[in-house]
Chains A and B, each alone.
Chain A
Amino acid sequence: MPDKTGFSISRRLRSLASLKLTVVLLLLLCFLVIAGTALQAESGLYAAQRAVFSSWLFLLFGVVPLPGMLTVALLLFINLLAAAAWRLQYRWRRAGLILLHYGLLLLIASGFVISLTAREYFLTLREGESGRSLTLADGRSGASLPFTLTLLDFEKALHPGTDIPKSFTSRVEIREGQARRRAVISMNRPLRLRGYTFYQSAYAEEEEGRESSTFSVVQGAGRRLPYFASAMLFLGLLLHWLAMIAAAMKKRQAPGAGSAL
């Protein structure tokens, strides 16, 4: 009977909202984080990314198949979506919790958008050198910039009498057609231009005191999405906290009112 099938399909869909599924997925997440971190300590971040953090399937000890971080994230997303549809109680006093869960949905979604569209390159220039071709992390040549960058000067400052770096600064010139302008890229102060972001990443000293500077160059979509998600989560936590305090106050007042009678 179609009626019954419909009922059971919706029931099955509803079971996707199950709290127990949430718990299992979160435990899996915990396990993957531990495994990935341990792997990273042993064979580096790149290997850990490929095996655990950006994979759909993870082979524990190379044998036991487990869902990778992408799978767990996707399942959590579905679980959250189902919860938003059927489990969350849409009442004012739950506003914080609701916002929290929607913020998480957006956070996971933005993770997917960023990791699917992000391109990360490197650009190494010696002092006085100009360039526009970017290399990939594995050394292969990647994309080409729509403008030319010239490294005018690289400066490294140490805390006096130590080897502790105080700051790294690269002064560059940007040439687009006939237009030229200068900019400074330093630690924690990236240069953003035409969708590319340049970060001071490394430096090297060659003979004759000539220095070279390496920038990591990032291009991709959705860079601002986590900011919105963070704002939602922050607001959600704040609202939920206020609601909890309000509930606690009510509870405290109730017995007092009783004794006044």
Chain B
Amino acid sequence: MKRATGLALLACGLLAAGSLPAATPRLEAFRRLLVLEQGRVKPLDTYARNLLRQISGGSSPAGLDAVAWMARVLFTPRETLDMKVFRVERSDVLPAIGIDNRGQGLYSFSDLRPGLNRLHGLAYRYAAAGAGRPGGFENEVMRLFRNISVYYGLLDAFAFSRPDGPMTGAAPREPAILPPGAGREEPWLVPAQAWARNAALPAAMQDEIALLADAARAYAAGDSLGFDRSLEKFNRSLRERLGPAAGRPWKVSLEIGYNRVAPFFKAGLAYGLALLLLLAAQFFQRRLLLKLSGLALLAGWLLHGVGILARMAIMGRPPVTSLYETFIFVSWAAAAMGLVMAWMRRQELGILAGAVAALALLVIAGGYGLDGDTMGMLAAVLDSNLWLAVHVVTIALGYAGCVFAGIIGHVAIIQALKRRPAAMARTADALPGILAFGLAFTAIGTLMGGIWADLSWGRFWGWDPKENGALLLIAWCAVLFHARLAGWIGRVGFAAGSVGALVVVALAWFGVNLLGLGLHAYGFTSGASRGLLAFILLELVFLAVAVPLARKGSRS
């Protein structure tokens, strides 16, 4: 056991280290610039990655480092006009603004420039009319326009340092990297804004603006040493001027490290590897492959947990505060259940269910991560509070139990279909315990939520959609236990009911957020409703076809 853990730690370290040397060293000080965006002070590293991800729709163009791209956009913007970074999701958007569809989904600013006037007109009309549904034409027009505007607003942020002056004539709006004072409430300034009112600013800020101008000129001249030195001086000056408000250096380093390692992506790879090894173990009947598969799951889980801890340290808040984080956390909890099950001598089943649940939830989280900064600020009503944090984590554990049971339910039904009644019975007999875990944690978490709601909103229960989702899950699990006790359902029925619990979890999780109402609707997203419907239909068809056949299979 000790050796296995050691091996998993090693694998985890290798996974994390795999991406370290990628960055160009001379951008270190640039990466550490602080940017105020959407209420949060973050390293420019995070800002640049999020922006490029948002513009290019998740798949950054081959070989393009977000921070290097950002440096070029800010300091040598003309070089970036022909870089293909703008993702256009729908094929009918470009013809509508008079541009031919060429190549693969990614376009440069120069490609899009001839259509900008029309795009601008359309986007304003749609926005004024409040038009658009997720994934629709109007939304894509508005999204593309917004992305181009952000890019356009960056081009002249350092225009004052260039001999040829401004390119656009528009006032630059980002990045806000110059804090006017130590007060946290004042908006930070974009370098060009600060330059425009240079004389009115305190001497320390004037020096900082001069340092930024030096850095920009050094970059354009290819003087990487001068670039680095000026920005280092700038960062030091900010720290001296602002004190702790400038963000602690270790937190900046931690966040940059978190971005580089991408722990959840790597954890997903490890879970995928665990599944492949499990498949190979079935094929070749080797204990070693099975062991390696379990180690891959353990390594992924450790890295996953480190990622969650890093987020908690960076933001100084509990593990689950946003929709994105619910997926990350439930995924991690499901992997933990898989490990526990594997440790209790149910290796194949534990690894299979743990890795499938964890991987699927990480993939969903990745989709939500595209919406921008995953470490956004919280609205007042959800501001951090110990009781609330415990409530959310407890519910998340309950959901994890039900998801885990749902996947094992699938396995049991498939085993019955394959006419392996002994294996099926062994699988199905694990279900009541797991579902009871899910039920208990969901119930306790819901009650805690009720107490929190009473303390802060004045009612224990308000039929809010999110509360209803949890109640539905509790009632459904209670149905299963009582129907089993009454003899209405047997092993197959309970397995099918567990699959049903998975559907209910999906409804409680997404359906409620897709309704977009209530105090709990803290996340909103595009395109997920169709996925949800497809998933529910698929599961219902699976149950309708498989359960009658499985009934026969489990008896033979």
* Contact of A187 with B456 at beta-carbon distance under 8 Å, contacts A22-B482, A27-B479, A168-B380 already known: yes
Q: Which residues in A have their C-beta under 8 angstroms from that of B459?
A: 118, 218
With the chains together, A25 CA to B462 CA distance in Å? 21
With the chains together, A187 CA to B454 CA distance in Å? 13
Contacting B at CB under 8 A, from A211-233, are 216, 218, 223, 226-227, 230, 233
Q: Does A148 contact B (CB under 8 A)?
A: no
Structural contact, B485 and A19, CB atoms closer than 8 A: yes
Name the residue of chain B whose CB is nearest to the CB of A163: B39
Interface flags for A4-27 (1: CB within 8 Å of B; 0: not) read 000000000000001110110011
Structural contact, A187 and B380, CB atoms closer than 8 A: yes
Most buried by B among A29, A161, A189, A197: A161
What are 12 A-B interface contacts by the 8 Å CB criterion? A22-B478, A26-B476, A37-B511, A40-B515, A41-B517, A160-B186, A162-B38, A188-B456, A223-B460, A226-B454, A227-B451, A233-B443
Structural contact, B465 and A41, CB atoms closer than 8 A: yes
Q: Does A184 contact B (CB under 8 A)?
A: no
Q: Which residues in A have their C-beta under 8 angstroms from that of B542?
A: none
* Contact of A23 with B482 at beta-carbon distance under 8 Å, contacts A162-B39, A187-B380 already known: yes
Q: A26-B478, A40-B515, A226-B454 are in contact. List 7 more A-B contacts (CB 8 A).
A: A22-B478, A160-B39, A161-B36, A226-B461, A230-B447, A241-B436, A241-B440
With the chains together, A237 CA to B448 CA distance in Å? 14
Q: Does A58 contact B (CB under 8 A)?
A: no
Structural contact, A41 and B479, CB atoms closer than 8 A: no
Contacting B at CB under 8 A, from A13-57, are 18-20, 22-23, 26-27, 29-30, 33-34, 36-37, 40-41, 45, 48-49, 53
Which of B176, B379, B433 contacts A164 (CB under 8 A)? B379
Q: Does B539 contact A (CB under 8 A)?
A: no
Q: Does B455 contact A (CB under 8 A)?
A: yes
Q: Which residues in B have their C-beta under 8 angstroms from that of A166?
A: 377, 380, 383
Name the residue of chain B whose CB is nearest to the CB of A227: B451
With the chains together, A132 CA to B96 CA distance in Å? 59
Which of A30, A36, A120, A234 contacts B444 (CB under 8 A)? A234
- Interface stretch, picked from B127-135, B312-320, B467-475, is B467-475
- B residues with a Cβ closer than 8 A to A are 36-40, 176, 184-188, 376-381, 383, 385, 433, 436, 440, 443-444, 447-448, 450-451, 454-463, 465, 468-469, 471-472, 475-476, 478-479, 482-483, 485-486, 488, 511-512, 515, 517-518
Which of A161, A165, A218 contacts B458 (CB under 8 A)? A218
Q: Does A117 contact B (CB under 8 A)?
A: no
With the chains together, A185 CA to B256 CA distance in Å? 39
Which of B381, B475, B478, B518 contacts A33 (CB under 8 A)? B475
Contacting B at CB under 8 A, from A110-169, are 111, 114, 118, 120, 157-162, 164-168
8 tightest A-B CB contacts, nearest first: A159-B39, A19-B486, A188-B456, A162-B39, A230-B447, A41-B515, A218-B458, A159-B377
